[in-house]
Amino acid sequence: MRRPATELVHTPGESVQGAVVPPVHRSANYLQEDVGTYASVRYQRLSNTPQHLAIGQKLARIEHTDSALTFASGMAAISTALLALLSAGDHLIVQRNLYGGTATFLRDLARWGIESTAVDGADPSTWDAARRPTTRLFYLESISNPLLEVPELATAARWAHQHGLVAAIDNTFLSPVQYRPAEDGFDLVLHSATKYLGGHSDLVAGVVAGRADLVERIHHQQNHLGGSLDPQALFLLDRGLKTLHLRVPAQAATALRLARVLEDHPMVSRVRYPGLASDPAHSRAARFDGCGGMLAFELATPEAARRFVDRVRIPLHAASLGSVESLVVLPARSSHLGLTPEERAAIGISDSLVRMSVGVEDPDDLEEDVLRALA
């Protein structure tokens, strides 16, 4: 098997009439051959164009899974996967402190008769009490958004299998360059490919990779919900993947440097970055090949947090993450705005919390800019 960096650069079937770069297939439909099932009809909404198939193969190879699908967004991937695998009356266990979009989608599932229970992903002793006869799935994030908590990942996958549950994980914050959940036994790996996989703030996309039987069920659901990825976004995703192995380690190295600087700064009351020896998740993050380019830190007051976001000049005050440019947001006013103040407080997201996505700018320039904004 070729190493990840090689797999990321080369796309299956890329040489079409000698082209070095795979073409964009604009055709919405394709000549019909021997059709055995609805899914075998060649049609762009069914995610079976040459681009869909080639990029799915690439994603499966780098995730070390049987197969992979692309979606129109990260939330399309998450919602389609959960709807495909759960029915009314089912129950799932989720890690506490999930991405806000996922957390609010769980409310929709509850309206449709699918309930969830949140547990401490780092404390396996709490999991048994949450399990019901109707539990079908255990859902985690490799590093949580925005507090960068790390669950007991390998233990979670084993525990899920011991109880006949599907083990699913959102690996957006790390990417397969720094963690491949399938190697720990996870059945499904999800990404917002808008983030690190694309890496340039110019596309919205999602990914589900995993066991062939589960991905097939999810593909069937996707065909009906219609969350397929368009040809231009497929092209941009493939282009972004080619430099993933170069971008992510550089971003992680700068993030660790900034976390150390912030940890010693008198204006900062708390820093969350699993790469720090002082971080409560540090020992659990030892299994990663780096801890990603995301960090979070708490300032003294909400006013101080807003002032910092206004004063930095290099990081842009914008949503999303994982791109080549650094970004800063206040999670209470962005990713977790859909939660009530009481819900945010219960999971530790205060109005003084700043989340930073570290880009590929010069580390010296970033450090100087952060220190100036804090002065």
Write down the pLDDT at residue 218.
98
249 and 337, same structural domain? yes
220 and 154, same structural domain? yes
Domain-ending residue, one of 208, 241, 274: 241
58 assigned to active site: no
170 assigned to active site: yes
What pLDDT digit, counting tens, does each position of 56-84 carry?
999 999 999 999 999 999 999 999 999 99
304 and 157, same structural domain? no
139 assigned to active site: no
User: Nearest to residue 70, comparing CAs of 252, 240, 324?
Assistant: 240
Domain-ending residue, one of 182, 207, 241: 241
The boundaries of the domain holding residue 293 are: 244-374
What pLDDT digit, counting tens, does each position of 124-159 carry?
999 999 999 999 999 999 999 999 999 999 999 999
Catalytic residue of the set 43, 99, 179, 196: 99
301 and 350, same structural domain? yes
Instruction: Find the CATH number of the domain harbouring 364.
Output: 3.90.1150.10
367 and 276, same structural domain? yes
Find how far residue 337's CA is from the centre of its chain.
Answer: 19
Domain-ending residue, one of 216, 241, 266: 241
Catalytic residue of the set 61, 136, 195, 272: 195
Q: Is the pTM of this model over 0.85?
A: yes
259 and 215, same structural domain? no
Instruction: Find the CATH number of the domain harbouring 202.
Output: 3.40.640.10
Write down the pLDDT at residue 360.
98
Q: Is the pLDDT of residue 196 over 80?
A: yes
40/89: higher pLDDT: 89
The model's confidence at residue 14, banded by pLDDT at 50, 70 and 90, is low
Catalytic residue of the set 58, 90, 170, 355: 170
What pLDDT digit, counting tens, does each position of 279-306 carry?
999 999 999 999 999 999 999 999 999 9
What pLDDT digit, counting tens, does each position of 207-216 carry?
999 999 999 9
257 and 221, same structural domain? no
99 assigned to active site: yes
Task: Classify residue 112 by burial, with Cβ atoms within 10 Å: 0-12, 13-18, 19+.
Answer: exposed
149 and 200, same structural domain? yes
Count structural domains, the chain: 2
Query: Residue 171 gets which letter from DSSP?
Result: -
